Amino acid sequence: MWEGGHTELFGDYDFQSKRIRVWMRTAVLGKVTSYRGLLHTLLHEFCHHLDREKLGFSQTPHTRGFHARVDDLYHLALATPPEHRRPLVWIKMGRAWRIDWSKLRTPRAPREPSGN
């Protein structure tokens, strides 16, 4: 996954053993993965499995359709109301495309000061 200007591996799917692995810490920076990030990674790897085992694809490239399937499952799992979903934003990089994650992140509201 493209994250903050570099590529980071959060999980993988082994086609031979049909085994999904996800990590609670990011591979490059060693940061703890958020629960939503972990869910997204799990669903991403699960879609590789579905592509191979249910749709019969010999390869499962990261196409825009692939990412759309992951995004649909992610929002179904979170029960995101349709009015709160944002469409994926794409950046063309040569002949390939990637998601512009910075355009999809919701800015966090400032925290209220505690009254202690």
CA dist., res. 48 & res. 97, Å (int): 18
Residue 33 falls inside a structural domain: yes
Report residue 2's pLDDT band, with 50, 70 and 90 as the boundaries: very low
Range of the domain at 49: 2-103
- How many domains does the chain fold into? 1
Give pLDDT tens digits for 42-64: 999 999 999 999 999 999 998 89
Give pLDDT tens digits for 22-36: 988 877 778 888 899
**Model pLDDT, residue 62:** 86
pTM: 0.76
Residue 108 falls inside a structural domain: no
Residue 45 falls inside a structural domain: yes
Per the structure block, which two tokens stand in for 29? 């920076």
Give me the chain's average pLDDT, please.
84
CA 70 to chain centre: 7
Contact 76, 45 (CB under 8 A): no
Residue 109 falls inside a structural domain: no
